[in-house]
Structure 1
Amino acid sequence: MNKVTLKELFLAVCIISSLSACYTSKIYVVRHAERQDDSADTPLSEVGHQRAKALSDSLYTKGIDSIFVTKYQRTKHTAQPLAERLGKKSEIYDVKQTGSIVERLSKIKGKNVLVVGHSDTVLEIVKGLGTKPSIAKIEHNDYDNLFLVTVNKGLFGKKVTLKENTYGQKTLP
């Protein structure tokens, strides 16, 4: 039996350490589903509840570890079907502090998360994570965007990519 030299042991420890620093995180960012009305803390409409279920169906098998919502009913109710299916509690972030949620998301390593935001914050979050969405604004009646930010950290650096999808029924123009 061969003896392992100190140099070989050191090399093995270095390789294992390097590999443990590698990770892939997937951050799904959506706007809340359709609102019942334009009041400040409106619940979801019936169509919105259907969209929330469609979101749950879309993300149920994606290994979601954490769910972030704002204090408003519409974001909580959008995430609720998925949270219940996964047995997870949603964490509240301050809608007025998108920099804070971006910073928090940037520290997540090797996890998959869902962030439910608002028409005026979703793109700000996606951009804050280092991507460039193809749209400049989410319109008032646009609810079906699903942004997937993938962060790959490897031995040779970090790569951030964006996939833009939709889910549920197509929103009407």
Structure 2
Amino acid sequence: MNYKWLSVLLVTIGLSACSTSTVFIVRHGEKVSEADTTSLSAVGFERAQALADRLEDERISRILTTPTRRTQQTAGPLSRHLNLPIESYPAKPVGAVVEMVQQTKGRNILVVGHSNTILEIAQGLGTKPSKAKIESEDFDNLLVVKLKRGLFGKSVRLEEETYGKPTPP
């Protein structure tokens, strides 16, 4: 028996089981008002562009948003810049988007959600964000989840950043 070929085969199979994905999770940009929550304000559109500028070199290959206009508008500049479609996921339960992310192995993903879902999404991926709640006026959180899958299990790491200019009072 040729053990060299068996070793090569096992290494090839093992390497194909390994993958690293980075998931960027954000809340949509600033809304027009509490009376009109369907669209982004001018500041929200500026934030959406700041997000595209921040992520343009991150090798994003999939963009996921809820079906709301404001999440799609937040992802729009990056989608256009990278020529990627925006895929929709249901806002609740967050398990649906967590499953979509976990099935996307070896690719970087942008997930745009809402103040009441982004922390839960990060937790569903196995992290423990430092914040317990995203406040209604808080739009600049960028949760970066690194998922590494290898022969001997997986590791998950969370980095918490902010992006764009602070929201004016």
TM-score, length-scaled by structure 2: 0.96
Q: How far did 1:142 drift? A: 0.1
Find the residue that maps to 2:45 and give its secondary structure. Answer: helix
The equivalent position to 1:42 in structure 2, one of 38, 44, 57, is 38
The equivalent position to 2:69 in structure 1, one of 48, 73, 78, is 73
The reply on whether 1:159 has 2:155 as its aligned counterpart is yes
CA distance in 1, matches of 2:100, 2:83: 22
Which digits, 9 at most, give the CA deviation of each residue in 1:62-118, with x for residues without a partner? 000000011111100000000000001100111122111111111111000000000
CA distance in 2, matches of 1:45, 1:53: 13
Q: Which residue of 2 aligns with 1:129?
A: 125
Do 2:31 and 2:37's aligned partners in 1 also have CA atoms closer than 8 Å? no
Do 2:147 and 2:157's aligned partners in 1 also have CA atoms closer than 8 Å? yes
Do 1:142 and 1:172's aligned partners in 2 also have CA atoms closer than 8 Å? no
CA distance in 2, matches of 1:99, 1:119: 16
Do 1:41 and 1:73's aligned partners in 2 also have CA atoms closer than 8 Å? no
Q: Which residue of 2 aligns with 1:146?
A: 142
TM-score, length-scaled by structure 1: 0.94
- The 5 A counterparts of 1:82-121 are 82-121=78-117
CA distance in 1, matches of 2:168, 2:158: 24
Which digits, 9 at most, give the CA deviation of each residue in 1:106-154, with x for residues without a partner? 1111000000000000001000000000000000000000000000112
Find the residue that maps to 2:58 and give its secondary structure. Answer: coil
Superposition misfits of 4+ residues, deviation over 6 angstroms: none
Sequence identity percentage: 47
CA distance in 1, matches of 2:115, 2:36: 14
More divergent stretch after superposition (34-43 vs 147-156): 34-43
CA distance in 1, matches of 2:166, 2:32: 18
CA distance in 1, matches of 2:36, 2:11: 53
The reply on whether 1:52 has 2:48 as its aligned counterpart is yes
Paired AA for residue 44 in structure 2: G
The reply on whether 1:20 has 2:16 as its aligned counterpart is yes
Which digits, 9 at most, give the CA deviation of each residue in 1:37-76, with x for residues without a partner? 1246521000000000000000011000000011111100
Gaps of 5+ in 2: none
Larger Rg: 1
Do 2:26 and 2:142's aligned partners in 1 also have CA atoms closer than 8 Å? yes
Gaps of 5+ in 1: none
> Number of aligned pairs?
169
